[in-house]
């Protein structure tokens, strides 16, 4: 549910006029997909960008819908295409291997295959497609650079910066670096090929999260490191840094009475971070109504991780900027 002006949630027929569709979906509603085996096929993951969505299935591949002005849906760009009230759902088949993860940035898309290879398409003006240029790309294309020959196990993006984690626990990045996201390896503010980020003191990276201006990684010991610009979770004294800094584990509940508590998963939105701990508690920091109790403005700024509303659930799926209830509000 959420904003649907570019049909990023599919076509939802109006009850008043059967020829028209809704530009806003106000409640959870089924999204019809052109499946060959609708009774057997299961949706494994969904991801939403600024105005497009990706849907990963277990046996019928990846589907895309919504705005394709930059090729982010993995099909040819049609000049003056009308996206509002569109029935178009595209099945993507340009991969060598089975896709196991899909991630939407603002106007680009990333795909991870079971071979550990990363593909991308869409807007590339900040280098976020990682294909060695700054043009748009309408066909999912395999990334090279420092990722060549690397077995990738996770990719992350949300704005225009991208991160990838290898099976060995190494971290790679490309795309926008205006907020110091990639300043550890280059002075350039746009990086169009994947670069290895040899951070010392972080250890083996288990998971990465990438927001609008900040980045975070979770290591094998359950510690969270952050860098970039903005509200990074260490209070008002840390506004920007090019190198990862650890968030004190005590902020996530580690005490002498709970010595085994550690962070198990992390996520990013455009302006906030969220974490789930091993004891099924979760917290958030950043700016937004889902970072904790809010005032009259409906917004709150949390400079450090704090308990968030609701309870964690297993098997949750992230959404995106225009569909603002990812992970029960994370």
In this predicted structure, the answer to whether residue 83 has a pLDDT above a threshold of 70 is yes
Cβ neighbors of 327 (< 8 A, separation 6 or more) are 267, 274, 316, 317, 318
Q: Stretch 270-285: mean pLDDT, rounded?
A: 83
In this predicted structure, what is the pLDDT of residue 314? 46
Q: State the Cα torsion 79-82-88-90 to the nearest 10°.
A: 30
Residues 146, 196: contact at Cβ < 8 Å?
Answer: yes
pLDDT in tens, 96-142: 999 999 999 999 999 999 999 999 999 999 999 999 999 999 999 99
The CB density around residue 3, as the number of other CB atoms within 10 Å, is 17
The DSSP bridge pattern shows strands 43-48 and 171-176 to be unpaired
The whole model's pTM is what? Answer: 0.88
Confidence of residue 304 (pLDDT cuts 50, 70, 90): low
Check residues 327 and 227 and name the one with the higher pLDDT. 227
C-alpha angle with apex 307: 205 to 253, nearest 5 degrees?
Answer: 60
Residues 109, 102: contact at Cβ < 8 Å?
Answer: yes
The DSSP bridge pattern shows strands 62-66 and 90-92 to be antiparallel
Share above pLDDT 90 across residues of the chain, in percent, rounded to a whole number: 75
Cβ neighbors of 326 (< 8 A, separation 6 or more) are 267, 269, 317, 318, 319, 320
User: Which residue do the tokens 């705005």 mark?
Assistant: 67
Domains of the chain (ranges, CATH numbers): 41-198 (2.130.10.30), 213-314 (no CATH)
Cα separation, 172 vs 264, whole angstroms = 21
In this predicted structure, the answer to whether residue 309 has a pLDDT above a threshold of 90 is no
Lowest mean pLDDT among 96-105, 265-274, 283-292, 321-330: 321-330
Lowest mean pLDDT among 20-34, 158-172, 307-321: 307-321
The CA-atom distances, in angstroms, between 2 and each of 6, 23, 51, 84, 108 are 11, 9, 11, 14, 20
Check residues 160 and 312 and name the one with the higher pLDDT. 160
The CB density around residue 196, as the number of other CB atoms within 10 Å, is 16
In this predicted structure, what is the pLDDT of residue 235? 83
In this predicted structure, what is the pLDDT of residue 231? 86
């Amino acid at each position: 549910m959420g904003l649907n002006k570019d049909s990023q949630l599919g076509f939802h027929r109006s009850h008043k006029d059967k020829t028209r569709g809704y530009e806003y979906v106000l409640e959870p509603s089924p999204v019809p997909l052109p499946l060959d085996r609708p009774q057997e096929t299961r949706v494994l993951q969904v991801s939403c960008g600024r105005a497009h969505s990706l849907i990963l299935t277990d046996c019928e591949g990846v589907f895309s819908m919504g705005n394709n002005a930059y090729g982010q849906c993995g099909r040819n760009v049609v000049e003056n295409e009308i996206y509002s009230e569109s029935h178009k759902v595209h099945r993507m088949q340009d991969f060598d291997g089975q896709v196991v993860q899909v991630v939407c940035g603002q106007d680009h898309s990333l795909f991870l295959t079971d071979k550990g290879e990363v593909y991308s398409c869409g807007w590339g003006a900040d280098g976020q497609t990682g294909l060695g240029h700054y043009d748009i790309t309408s066909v999912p294309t395999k990334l090279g650079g420092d990722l060549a020959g690397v077995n990738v196990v996770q990719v992350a993006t949300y704005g225009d910066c991208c991160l990838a984690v290898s099976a060995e626990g190494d971290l790679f990045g490309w795309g926008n670096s205006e907020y110091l996201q990639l300043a550890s390896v280059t002075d350039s503010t746009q990086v169009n090929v994947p670069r290895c980020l040899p951070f010392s003191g972080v250890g083996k990276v288990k998971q990465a999260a990438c927001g609008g201006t900040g980045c975070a990684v979770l290591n094998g010991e359950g510690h969270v490191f952050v860098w970039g610009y903005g509200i990074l979770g260490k209070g008002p004294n840390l506004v920007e840094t090019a190198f990862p800094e650890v968030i004190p584990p005590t902020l996530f509940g580690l005490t002498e009475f709970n010595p085994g508590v550690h962070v198990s998963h992390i996520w990013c939105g455009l302006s906030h971070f969220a974490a789930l701990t091993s004891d099924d508690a979760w917290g958030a920091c950043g700016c937004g109504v889902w970072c904790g109790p809010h005032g009259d403005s409906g917004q709150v700024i949390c400079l450090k991780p704090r308990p968030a509303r609701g309870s964690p659930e297993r098997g949750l799926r992230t959404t995106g900027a225009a569909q603002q209830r990812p992970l029960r509000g994370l």
